[in-house]
Amino acid sequence: MQSNASKKKNLIECPKCKRIMRTCCDIEASSSEDDHHLYVMSASDGYLPGLVKIGRSKNPAERACQLQEQMPFHIEIDCIYYGKGDHEKAVHEALEVFRVRSAPGKEWFELSKRQACEAIARVLFPE
């Protein structure tokens, strides 16, 4: 069972609408306010089962709110890789075979949340 401290660590607030969102992981790197962060988002309520959105933003919580205004479903932030936004192109290239061209918007991939995070980790932290 997670402690309250670790639960709070994975909460982020949208500066625009003040909505609190939970992330499943919190992989931090040294980053500044000018850095872009790599994120994995998905639709809740089973609206787009098996699809994830992988993108970059200076503020993933605010980006989730922007996306939610455009989509007919609730957006969840599944994972944020702080300061790793410059790896977005490499991640997209590695996952090109999973890209869904018919999904609403761009950057959607047919992967589970876990598969997406594992694929990103292989790009970010190659052995």
pLDDT recorded at residue 1: 39
For residue 15, being part of any structural domain is answered with yes
Structural domain of 58: 11-124
Average pLDDT over residues 87-92: 94
Share of the chain above pLDDT 70, in %: 71
If one compares 59 and 1, the residue with the highest pLDDT of the two is 59
For residue 101, being part of any structural domain is answered with yes
For residue 58, being part of any structural domain is answered with yes
Position 75 pLDDT exceeds 60: yes
Average pLDDT over residues 107-117: 90
Share of the chain above pLDDT 90, in %: 28
If one compares 45 and 53, the residue with the highest pLDDT of the two is 53
For residue 6, being part of any structural domain is answered with no
Q: Are 77 and 23 in contact (CB under 8 A)?
A: yes
Position 39 pLDDT exceeds 90: yes
For residue 3, being part of any structural domain is answered with no
For residue 91, being part of any structural domain is answered with yes
Compute how many other C-beta atoms are within 10 angstroms of the C-beta atom of residue 116. 24
Total of domains in the chain: 1
pLDDT recorded at residue 21: 57
For residue 74, being part of any structural domain is answered with yes
CA separation (Å) from 70 to 4, 17, 28, 66, 73?
Answer: 33, 15, 29, 7, 9
pLDDT recorded at residue 9: 52
For residue 4, being part of any structural domain is answered with no
Does the pTM of the predicted model rise above 0.85?
A: no
Strand partners, 57: 37
d(CA 35, CA 15): 17
Average pLDDT over the chain reads 77
d(CA 118, CA 72): 28
